Amino acid sequence: MSIKTFIWVVAEIVIVFILLSLPGNSFHTQSKWFGNFPIDKLVHVCLFGSLSFSFFFHFERTNYRQLKTVRAKAIVLIFCIVYGIGMEFYQKYFVPTRGFEVNDMVADAVGAILALPLFNWLNKKILRKHS
């Protein structure tokens, strides 16, 4: 097992928790670059995409064959989606000026799911060449 990739996974979990624990008034919700697009949804996509990508990368670097299966990747996706849902409940009850948003949960799930084809493509094109 790679300790570096494990630390990356743990760091991603902690970073997501910290960023989603900040009060809602700490962020701008609109961007001049994206017009009326709510930039916070893009942040959710990126956070949970990065989280699931870190799991996929860690599992690919392990010696355990069970972690390289489709089932393991599905469990990662389920974990990331449930973590996103749990964070919304956490924000609703424990984070000032933050609330429960279904659209945030959807953005979390989209990010986690989009990371899978990105990881598979990068794994075929780049990562396997360097192992």
Kindly report the average pLDDT of the chain as a whole number: 88
From CA 85, how far away is CA 131, in angstroms rounded? 35
pLDDT digits (tens, 9 = 90+) for 40-60: 899 999 999 999 999 999 999
Within a domain: residue 38?
A: yes
Q: Which residue has the higher pLDDT, 77 or 30?
A: 77
pLDDT score for 97: 85
Token couple for 86: 């749990």
pLDDT at 101 over 60: yes
The structural domain count of the chain equals: 1
Residue 51 lies in a domain: yes
The domain of 82 spans 3-15+29-126
Residue type, 22: L
Phi, psi of 38 (to 5 degrees): -70, 105
> What is the structure's pLDDT at 27?
54
Q: What is the mean pLDDT of residues 18-33?
A: 68
Flag whether 21 is in a domain: no
The pTM of this model reads 0.86
CB 90 within 8 A of CB 96: no
